[in-house]
A = this chain, B = another copy of it.
Amino acid sequence: MSQKPSLPKGMRDFGPMQMARRNYIINSIKSVFEKFGFMPLETPAMENLSTLTGKYGDEGDQLLFKVLNSGDFLSKTSANDFENGSKSMLPKISEKGLKYDLTVPFARYVVMNQHDITFPFKRFQIQPVWRADRPQKGRYREFYQCDADVVGTDSLICEAEIILMINEVFDHLGFEDYTIKINHRGILSGIAEVIGAQGKESDLFVAIDKLDKIGLDKVCDELIERGIPADAVEKLKPILTISGSVQVVINNLSGLLGNTEAGKKGINDLSEIFSHVKSLGLENSNTAVDVTLARGLSYYTGAIFEVKINNVSIGSVSGGGRYDDLTGVFGLSGTSGVGFSFGIDRLYDCLEELNLFKENTQTFSQVLIVHFDEDSMNYGLSVLSELRSNGIKSEIYPDQTKLKKQFSYADKKNIPYTITIGSEEIKSGKLALKDLHSGNQESLSVDEIISKLKGA
Protein backbone atom coordinates (compact mmCIF):
# COMPACT_ATOMS: atom_id res chain seq x y z
CA MET A 1 0.00 0.00 0.00
CA SER A 2 1.36 3.36 -0.93
CA GLN A 3 0.79 6.30 1.38
CA LYS A 4 -0.40 9.76 0.50
CA PRO A 5 2.42 12.03 1.59
CA SER A 6 1.97 15.31 3.42
CA LEU A 7 4.02 18.01 5.12
CA PRO A 8 4.05 18.57 8.89
CA LYS A 9 1.93 21.59 9.73
CA GLY A 10 3.70 24.94 9.69
CA MET A 11 6.38 23.56 7.34
CA ARG A 12 6.91 24.62 3.73
CA ASP A 13 8.61 23.45 0.58
CA PHE A 14 10.21 26.15 -1.53
CA GLY A 15 9.82 25.28 -5.19
CA PRO A 16 12.03 26.73 -7.94
CA MET A 17 10.14 30.02 -8.36
CA GLN A 18 10.03 30.75 -4.64
CA MET A 19 13.66 29.72 -4.28
CA ALA A 20 14.71 32.09 -7.05
CA ARG A 21 12.88 34.96 -5.36
CA ARG A 22 14.16 34.07 -1.89
CA ASN A 23 17.71 33.79 -3.20
CA TYR A 24 17.34 37.18 -4.83
CA ILE A 25 16.42 38.69 -1.45
CA ILE A 26 19.09 36.78 0.46
CA ASN A 27 21.83 37.59 -2.05
CA SER A 28 20.92 41.28 -1.97
CA ILE A 29 21.29 41.29 1.80
CA LYS A 30 24.43 39.17 1.80
CA SER A 31 26.27 41.38 -0.66
CA VAL A 32 25.57 44.42 1.52
CA PHE A 33 26.68 42.62 4.68
CA GLU A 34 29.91 41.63 2.95
CA LYS A 35 30.55 45.10 1.60
CA PHE A 36 30.37 46.35 5.18
CA GLY A 37 32.92 43.79 6.40
CA PHE A 38 30.57 41.24 7.99
CA MET A 39 31.68 37.61 7.82
CA PRO A 40 29.52 34.48 7.48
CA LEU A 41 28.82 32.04 10.31
CA GLU A 42 26.68 28.91 10.50
CA THR A 43 25.79 26.97 13.61
CA PRO A 44 24.11 23.55 13.73
CA ALA A 45 20.35 23.03 13.73
CA MET A 46 20.55 21.21 17.07
CA GLU A 47 21.88 22.66 20.30
CA ASN A 48 22.04 21.13 23.75
CA LEU A 49 18.81 21.90 25.61
CA SER A 50 21.01 23.32 28.38
CA THR A 51 22.14 25.99 25.88
CA LEU A 52 18.61 26.88 24.79
CA THR A 53 16.41 26.48 27.86
CA GLY A 54 15.74 29.57 29.99
CA LYS A 55 16.84 32.01 27.31
CA TYR A 56 13.45 32.86 25.83
CA GLY A 57 11.19 32.96 28.88
CA ASP A 58 8.71 30.24 29.88
CA GLU A 59 6.75 30.61 26.68
CA GLY A 60 9.88 30.21 24.61
CA ASP A 61 10.85 27.04 26.48
CA GLN A 62 7.43 25.62 25.57
CA LEU A 63 7.97 26.49 21.92
CA LEU A 64 11.34 24.74 21.60
CA PHE A 65 11.30 21.64 19.44
CA LYS A 66 12.97 18.89 21.47
CA VAL A 67 14.78 15.96 19.88
CA LEU A 68 14.41 12.48 21.37
CA ASN A 69 17.62 10.81 22.53
CA SER A 70 18.76 8.13 20.11
CA GLY A 71 18.35 4.41 20.71
CA ASP A 72 16.45 3.18 23.76
CA PHE A 73 15.40 6.62 24.94
CA LEU A 74 13.47 5.25 27.93
CA SER A 75 16.58 3.63 29.45
CA LYS A 76 17.15 6.46 31.93
CA THR A 77 13.52 6.76 32.99
CA SER A 78 11.60 5.19 35.86
CA ALA A 79 7.89 4.45 36.27
CA ASN A 80 7.94 7.36 38.68
CA ASP A 81 9.11 9.76 35.99
CA PHE A 82 6.32 8.53 33.75
CA GLU A 83 3.69 9.03 36.42
CA ASN A 84 4.99 12.50 37.17
CA GLY A 85 4.21 13.51 33.61
CA SER A 86 5.85 15.14 30.63
CA LYS A 87 7.79 17.75 32.55
CA SER A 88 9.47 15.13 34.67
CA MET A 89 10.13 12.80 31.73
CA LEU A 90 11.55 15.44 29.39
CA PRO A 91 15.09 15.78 30.79
CA LYS A 92 15.47 11.98 30.86
CA ILE A 93 14.53 11.39 27.23
CA SER A 94 15.71 14.53 25.43
CA GLU A 95 19.01 16.39 25.59
CA LYS A 96 18.89 18.38 22.38
CA GLY A 97 16.59 20.91 20.77
CA LEU A 98 16.28 22.76 17.48
CA LYS A 99 17.53 26.30 17.54
CA TYR A 100 14.91 28.92 18.28
CA ASP A 101 16.81 31.94 17.03
CA LEU A 102 20.30 32.81 15.83
CA THR A 103 21.29 35.00 18.78
CA VAL A 104 21.73 32.38 21.50
CA PRO A 105 23.79 30.04 19.26
CA PHE A 106 25.86 33.07 18.26
CA ALA A 107 26.51 33.93 21.91
CA ARG A 108 27.49 30.29 22.51
CA TYR A 109 29.85 30.42 19.52
CA VAL A 110 31.49 33.63 20.73
CA VAL A 111 32.10 32.20 24.18
CA MET A 112 33.44 28.88 22.90
CA ASN A 113 35.75 30.61 20.41
CA GLN A 114 36.60 33.74 22.39
CA HIS A 115 40.35 33.09 22.20
CA ASP A 116 40.39 32.67 18.43
CA ILE A 117 38.01 35.47 17.49
CA THR A 118 39.38 38.88 16.51
CA PHE A 119 37.22 41.52 18.18
CA PRO A 120 35.32 43.60 17.18
CA PHE A 121 33.70 40.57 15.54
CA LYS A 122 31.30 41.32 12.70
CA ARG A 123 29.29 38.29 11.67
CA PHE A 124 26.18 37.59 9.66
CA GLN A 125 24.14 34.42 9.80
CA ILE A 126 21.29 33.36 7.50
CA GLN A 127 19.73 30.10 8.61
CA PRO A 128 16.39 28.51 9.48
CA VAL A 129 15.07 28.43 13.04
CA TRP A 130 12.21 26.42 14.48
CA ARG A 131 9.35 27.32 16.84
CA ALA A 132 6.43 25.11 17.83
CA ASP A 133 4.07 28.06 17.51
CA ARG A 134 0.48 27.70 16.40
CA PRO A 135 0.78 28.08 12.60
CA GLN A 136 -1.24 30.88 11.02
CA LYS A 137 -1.08 33.20 8.01
CA GLY A 138 2.49 34.40 7.74
CA ARG A 139 3.65 32.41 10.77
CA TYR A 140 5.52 29.18 10.19
CA ARG A 141 7.20 26.61 12.38
CA GLU A 142 10.36 26.77 10.29
CA PHE A 143 11.55 30.11 8.99
CA TYR A 144 14.79 31.84 8.06
CA GLN A 145 16.38 34.45 10.21
CA CYS A 146 18.96 36.77 8.74
CA ASP A 147 21.07 38.46 11.42
CA ALA A 148 24.10 40.72 11.46
CA ASP A 149 25.86 41.67 14.71
CA VAL A 150 29.04 43.40 15.80
CA VAL A 151 30.31 42.39 19.22
CA GLY A 152 33.23 43.65 21.23
CA THR A 153 32.83 47.37 20.67
CA ASP A 154 30.46 50.09 21.86
CA SER A 155 31.33 52.38 18.95
CA LEU A 156 28.23 54.13 17.62
CA ILE A 157 29.67 53.86 14.12
CA CYS A 158 28.11 50.39 14.19
CA GLU A 159 24.62 51.83 14.71
CA ALA A 160 25.22 54.31 11.89
CA GLU A 161 26.35 51.50 9.60
CA ILE A 162 23.18 49.56 10.38
CA ILE A 163 21.15 52.50 9.10
CA LEU A 164 23.29 52.58 5.97
CA MET A 165 22.97 48.84 5.39
CA ILE A 166 19.18 48.93 5.70
CA ASN A 167 19.06 51.81 3.23
CA GLU A 168 21.29 50.03 0.78
CA VAL A 169 19.38 46.74 0.95
CA PHE A 170 16.04 48.51 0.52
CA ASP A 171 17.28 50.63 -2.36
CA HIS A 172 18.56 47.51 -4.05
CA LEU A 173 15.26 45.69 -3.59
CA GLY A 174 13.40 48.70 -4.95
CA PHE A 175 11.53 49.85 -1.83
CA GLU A 176 11.02 53.60 -1.88
CA ASP A 177 8.64 54.46 0.91
CA TYR A 178 9.90 53.03 4.18
CA THR A 179 10.80 54.32 7.63
CA ILE A 180 13.69 53.28 9.84
CA LYS A 181 12.41 54.07 13.31
CA ILE A 182 15.01 54.55 15.98
CA ASN A 183 14.71 55.02 19.71
CA HIS A 184 17.02 54.59 22.67
CA ARG A 185 16.61 52.79 25.95
CA GLY A 186 17.92 55.90 27.71
CA ILE A 187 15.18 58.05 26.18
CA LEU A 188 12.52 55.61 27.41
CA SER A 189 14.04 55.66 30.92
CA GLY A 190 14.29 59.44 30.80
CA ILE A 191 10.60 59.69 29.91
CA ALA A 192 9.64 57.40 32.80
CA GLU A 193 11.72 59.61 35.10
CA VAL A 194 10.43 63.02 34.03
CA ILE A 195 6.77 62.05 34.11
CA GLY A 196 7.22 60.33 37.48
CA ALA A 197 6.45 56.76 36.38
CA GLN A 198 9.59 55.15 37.72
CA GLY A 199 8.93 51.61 38.92
CA LYS A 200 6.12 51.34 36.38
CA GLU A 201 8.40 51.26 33.34
CA SER A 202 7.18 48.04 31.78
CA ASP A 203 3.52 49.09 31.99
CA LEU A 204 4.46 52.44 30.52
CA PHE A 205 6.47 50.98 27.64
CA VAL A 206 3.99 48.25 26.73
CA ALA A 207 1.24 50.85 26.43
CA ILE A 208 3.09 53.55 24.50
CA ASP A 209 4.43 50.97 22.02
CA LYS A 210 0.80 50.67 20.83
CA LEU A 211 0.44 54.34 19.83
CA ASP A 212 0.77 53.47 16.14
CA LYS A 213 -2.05 50.99 16.27
CA ILE A 214 -4.58 52.35 18.76
CA GLY A 215 -3.96 56.10 18.89
CA LEU A 216 -3.20 58.53 21.72
CA ASP A 217 -6.55 58.41 23.53
CA LYS A 218 -6.60 54.67 23.91
CA VAL A 219 -2.95 54.62 24.98
CA CYS A 220 -3.81 57.10 27.73
CA ASP A 221 -6.80 54.99 28.81
CA GLU A 222 -4.59 51.94 28.99
CA LEU A 223 -1.95 53.82 30.99
CA ILE A 224 -4.54 54.81 33.55
CA GLU A 225 -5.82 51.23 33.71
CA ARG A 226 -2.27 50.02 34.24
CA GLY A 227 -2.00 52.32 37.26
CA ILE A 228 0.05 55.19 35.85
CA PRO A 229 -1.04 58.36 37.73
CA ALA A 230 -3.21 60.77 35.73
CA ASP A 231 -0.74 63.65 36.12
CA ALA A 232 2.03 61.46 34.73
CA VAL A 233 -0.15 60.64 31.74
CA GLU A 234 -0.77 64.36 31.23
CA LYS A 235 2.95 65.06 31.30
CA LEU A 236 3.49 62.23 28.85
CA LYS A 237 1.11 63.52 26.16
CA PRO A 238 3.32 66.28 24.73
CA ILE A 239 6.27 63.91 24.67
CA LEU A 240 4.39 61.27 22.70
CA THR A 241 3.26 63.79 20.13
CA ILE A 242 6.70 65.19 19.32
CA SER A 243 7.23 64.92 15.60
CA GLY A 244 9.38 66.30 12.83
CA SER A 245 12.81 65.72 11.41
CA VAL A 246 15.41 63.82 13.39
CA GLN A 247 17.06 67.10 14.42
CA VAL A 248 13.80 68.68 15.53
CA VAL A 249 12.84 65.67 17.62
CA ILE A 250 16.29 65.49 19.20
CA ASN A 251 16.18 69.21 20.06
CA ASN A 252 12.74 68.82 21.60
CA LEU A 253 13.81 65.79 23.62
CA SER A 254 16.86 67.69 24.82
CA GLY A 255 14.64 70.29 26.35
CA LEU A 256 12.30 67.74 27.92
CA LEU A 257 14.69 65.03 29.11
CA GLY A 258 18.06 66.76 29.19
CA ASN A 259 18.08 66.85 32.96
CA THR A 260 17.85 63.09 33.39
CA GLU A 261 21.06 61.13 33.12
CA ALA A 262 19.52 58.30 31.10
CA GLY A 263 17.71 60.70 28.80
CA LYS A 264 20.87 62.72 28.18
CA LYS A 265 22.81 59.55 27.31
CA GLY A 266 20.10 58.50 24.88
CA ILE A 267 19.98 61.90 23.20
CA ASN A 268 23.77 62.14 22.92
CA ASP A 269 23.98 58.65 21.45
CA LEU A 270 21.34 59.40 18.84
CA SER A 271 23.05 62.68 17.94
CA GLU A 272 26.37 60.93 17.49
CA ILE A 273 24.77 58.13 15.42
CA PHE A 274 23.25 60.69 13.05
CA SER A 275 26.48 62.60 12.83
CA HIS A 276 28.21 59.36 11.74
CA VAL A 277 25.42 58.65 9.26
CA LYS A 278 26.14 62.04 7.72
CA SER A 279 29.91 61.46 7.63
CA LEU A 280 29.17 58.18 5.88
CA GLY A 281 27.54 60.21 3.12
CA LEU A 282 23.91 59.40 3.67
CA GLU A 283 21.71 62.49 3.49
CA ASN A 284 18.16 61.23 3.31
CA SER A 285 18.26 58.21 5.53
CA ASN A 286 14.49 57.58 5.76
CA THR A 287 15.04 57.63 9.49
CA ALA A 288 12.71 58.90 12.20
CA VAL A 289 13.24 59.12 15.94
CA ASP A 290 10.17 57.46 17.47
CA VAL A 291 9.96 57.71 21.25
CA THR A 292 7.17 55.14 21.36
CA LEU A 293 9.30 52.37 19.89
CA ALA A 294 9.82 49.97 22.79
CA ARG A 295 10.75 46.50 21.60
CA GLY A 296 13.15 43.93 23.07
CA LEU A 297 13.52 45.82 26.33
CA SER A 298 14.60 42.70 28.19
CA TYR A 299 17.90 42.77 26.29
CA TYR A 300 18.34 46.05 24.42
CA THR A 301 20.23 48.61 26.48
CA GLY A 302 21.01 51.32 23.91
CA ALA A 303 19.65 52.15 20.47
CA ILE A 304 16.55 50.29 19.25
CA PHE A 305 15.60 49.93 15.57
CA GLU A 306 12.51 48.92 13.69
CA VAL A 307 11.78 49.22 9.99
CA LYS A 308 8.41 49.38 8.28
CA ILE A 309 7.53 49.51 4.62
CA ASN A 310 4.85 52.17 4.37
CA ASN A 311 1.51 51.52 2.65
CA VAL A 312 1.84 47.76 3.03
CA SER A 313 -0.25 45.72 5.45
CA ILE A 314 2.76 43.89 6.87
CA GLY A 315 4.42 44.54 10.24
CA SER A 316 8.07 45.40 10.71
CA VAL A 317 10.50 43.85 8.22
CA SER A 318 13.69 44.53 10.12
CA GLY A 319 14.71 45.42 13.64
CA GLY A 320 17.51 45.34 16.14
CA GLY A 321 19.33 47.17 18.85
CA ARG A 322 22.33 47.41 21.16
CA TYR A 323 22.80 45.03 24.07
CA ASP A 324 25.33 45.27 26.86
CA ASP A 325 25.68 41.66 27.76
CA LEU A 326 25.20 39.12 25.02
CA THR A 327 27.36 36.38 26.44
CA GLY A 328 27.11 36.81 30.21
CA VAL A 329 24.79 33.83 30.53
CA PHE A 330 27.58 31.64 29.12
CA GLY A 331 30.24 33.07 31.43
CA LEU A 332 31.75 35.86 29.33
CA SER A 333 30.48 39.17 30.63
CA GLY A 334 30.90 42.69 29.33
CA THR A 335 30.60 41.91 25.62
CA SER A 336 28.71 44.85 24.20
CA GLY A 337 27.29 44.54 20.75
CA VAL A 338 24.68 45.75 18.36
CA GLY A 339 22.74 43.72 15.84
CA PHE A 340 19.77 43.67 13.57
CA SER A 341 17.93 41.25 11.38
CA PHE A 342 15.82 41.14 8.25
CA GLY A 343 12.60 39.13 8.02
CA ILE A 344 12.96 37.20 4.76
CA ASP A 345 9.34 36.01 4.66
CA ARG A 346 7.99 39.50 5.25
CA LEU A 347 10.30 41.11 2.71
CA TYR A 348 9.10 38.47 0.24
CA ASP A 349 5.48 39.35 0.93
CA CYS A 350 6.17 43.09 0.62
CA LEU A 351 7.98 42.68 -2.71
CA GLU A 352 5.09 40.59 -3.96
CA GLU A 353 2.44 43.03 -2.72
CA LEU A 354 4.24 45.97 -4.32
CA ASN A 355 4.97 43.99 -7.49
CA LEU A 356 8.70 44.63 -7.16
CA PHE A 357 10.07 41.23 -8.15
CA LYS A 358 11.85 41.65 -11.44
CA GLU A 359 10.92 39.30 -14.24
CA ASN A 360 14.42 37.81 -14.39
CA THR A 361 14.33 36.71 -10.74
CA GLN A 362 12.34 33.74 -12.00
CA THR A 363 14.30 32.90 -15.13
CA PHE A 364 16.38 29.76 -15.06
CA SER A 365 17.54 28.51 -18.46
CA GLN A 366 17.81 31.24 -21.05
CA VAL A 367 17.27 28.98 -24.02
CA LEU A 368 15.83 25.55 -24.87
CA ILE A 369 17.01 23.57 -27.89
CA VAL A 370 14.05 22.01 -29.71
CA HIS A 371 14.56 19.25 -32.31
CA PHE A 372 12.66 17.28 -34.95
CA ASP A 373 14.48 13.94 -34.96
CA GLU A 374 17.53 12.05 -33.80
CA ASP A 375 19.93 13.82 -36.18
CA SER A 376 18.80 17.25 -35.12
CA MET A 377 18.93 16.22 -31.45
CA ASN A 378 22.55 15.15 -31.89
CA TYR A 379 23.34 18.35 -33.74
CA GLY A 380 21.59 20.18 -30.92
CA LEU A 381 23.95 18.64 -28.37
CA SER A 382 26.93 20.28 -30.08
CA VAL A 383 25.09 23.62 -30.17
CA LEU A 384 24.29 23.21 -26.49
CA SER A 385 27.95 22.67 -25.74
CA GLU A 386 28.87 25.95 -27.48
CA LEU A 387 26.15 27.89 -25.67
CA ARG A 388 27.25 26.62 -22.28
CA SER A 389 30.94 27.22 -22.88
CA ASN A 390 29.90 30.82 -23.45
CA GLY A 391 28.24 30.84 -20.05
CA ILE A 392 24.67 30.74 -21.38
CA LYS A 393 22.32 28.75 -19.16
CA SER A 394 20.70 26.38 -21.57
CA GLU A 395 19.18 22.95 -22.03
CA ILE A 396 17.98 20.57 -24.70
CA TYR A 397 14.68 18.74 -24.52
CA PRO A 398 16.04 15.29 -23.63
CA ASP A 399 13.45 13.14 -25.43
CA GLN A 400 12.39 12.89 -29.06
CA THR A 401 8.82 14.10 -29.04
CA LYS A 402 6.39 16.46 -30.71
CA LEU A 403 7.53 20.07 -31.15
CA LYS A 404 4.41 21.24 -29.35
CA LYS A 405 5.41 19.40 -26.20
CA GLN A 406 8.90 20.83 -26.35
CA PHE A 407 7.61 24.41 -26.76
CA SER A 408 5.15 23.90 -23.95
CA TYR A 409 8.04 22.84 -21.70
CA ALA A 410 9.89 26.08 -22.50
CA ASP A 411 6.75 28.08 -21.88
CA LYS A 412 5.91 26.48 -18.52
CA LYS A 413 9.50 26.80 -17.34
CA ASN A 414 9.53 30.46 -18.32
CA ILE A 415 12.49 29.94 -20.68
CA PRO A 416 12.60 33.08 -22.86
CA TYR A 417 14.18 31.67 -26.06
CA THR A 418 14.07 28.49 -28.13
CA ILE A 419 16.40 27.31 -30.87
CA THR A 420 14.65 24.97 -33.29
CA ILE A 421 16.79 22.53 -35.28
CA GLY A 422 15.72 20.36 -38.21
CA SER A 423 17.42 19.06 -41.37
CA GLU A 424 17.16 22.48 -43.11
CA GLU A 425 18.87 24.17 -40.20
CA ILE A 426 21.67 21.61 -40.10
CA LYS A 427 22.29 22.07 -43.84
CA SER A 428 22.32 25.87 -43.76
CA GLY A 429 23.93 26.32 -40.34
CA LYS A 430 21.25 28.95 -39.70
CA LEU A 431 19.12 28.02 -36.68
CA ALA A 432 15.68 29.34 -35.79
CA LEU A 433 15.96 31.50 -32.66
CA LYS A 434 12.52 32.34 -31.30
CA ASP A 435 11.75 34.94 -28.65
CA LEU A 436 8.82 33.33 -26.86
CA HIS A 437 7.73 36.60 -25.33
CA SER A 438 7.36 38.59 -28.56
CA GLY A 439 6.93 35.59 -30.86
CA ASN A 440 9.66 36.96 -33.18
CA GLN A 441 11.79 34.42 -34.96
CA GLU A 442 15.14 34.87 -36.72
CA SER A 443 17.48 32.59 -38.67
CA LEU A 444 20.93 32.96 -37.13
CA SER A 445 24.25 31.15 -36.95
CA VAL A 446 25.33 29.75 -33.58
CA ASP A 447 27.82 32.60 -33.18
CA GLU A 448 25.14 35.18 -33.89
CA ILE A 449 22.83 33.51 -31.38
CA ILE A 450 25.54 33.54 -28.75
CA SER A 451 26.30 37.23 -29.16
CA LYS A 452 22.59 38.04 -29.14
CA LEU A 453 21.90 36.05 -25.96
CA LYS A 454 24.99 37.38 -24.20
CA GLY A 455 23.75 40.88 -24.90
CA ALA A 456 20.21 40.06 -23.71
Contacts and interface: CB of A to CB of B under 8 A. Distances in A.
Interface of A: 2-8, 11-16, 19-20, 23, 34-37, 39-48, 50-51, 62-63, 65-68, 70-75, 77, 79, 82-83, 85-86, 89-90, 93-96, 98, 108-109, 111-113, 116, 118, 120, 122-123, 128, 130, 132, 141-142, 150, 153, 155, 157-158, 160, 276, 279-282, 328-331, 364-365, 378, 381-382, 384-386, 388-389, 391-396, 398-399, 409, 412-413
Contacts of A382: 279-281
A48 to B, nearest CB: 5
A37 B119 CA distance: 43
Contacts of A67: 65-68, 98
Contact of A381 (B13, B85, B280): B280
Given A8-B48, A14-B42, A40-B19, A331 B128 contact: no
Contacts of A68: 65-68, 90, 93-94
A83 B74 CA distance: 10
A90 to B, nearest CB: 8
Given A68-B68, A74-B86, A82-B74, A36 B395 contact: yes
Most central of A12, A276, A281 by chain B CB within 10 Å: A281
A95 to B, nearest CB: 7
22 contacts: A4-B331, A5-B48, A5-B108, A7-B44, A7-B48, A8-B44, A11-B46, A14-B40, A19-B42, A37-B364, A46-B65, A63-B70, A65-B67, A65-B70, A66-B67, A67-B98, A72-B85, A74-B82, A74-B89, A120-B409, A155-B398, A281-B389
Contacts of A72: 85-86
Helix, strand, loop or mixed for chain A's interface? Answer: mixed
A395 B5 contact: no
A176 to B, nearest CB: 19
Given A2-B331, A39-B19, A44-B11, A150 B94 contact: no
Most central of A14, A35, A66, A120 by chain B CB within 10 Å: A35
Nearest to A77: B82
Contact of A391 (B6, B35, B389): B35
A388 B82 CA distance: 60
Nearest to A400: B155
A219 to B, nearest CB: 35
A93 B90 CA distance: 11
B330 A4 contact: yes
A34 B393 contact: yes
A20 B220 CA distance: 52
Given A2-B330, A6-B112, A329-B2, A41 B66 contact: no
Given A2-B331, A5-B112, A281-B385, A40 B23 contact: yes
A3 B330 contact: yes
A35 B71 contact: no
A122 B412 CA distance: 13
Given A5-B331, A279-B381, 17 more contacts: A5-B111, A5-B112, A7-B112, A8-B46, A13-B112, A15-B116, A20-B40, A35-B393, A35-B394, A36-B388, A36-B393, A44-B142, A71-B86, A72-B85, A79-B83, A280-B385, A282-B385
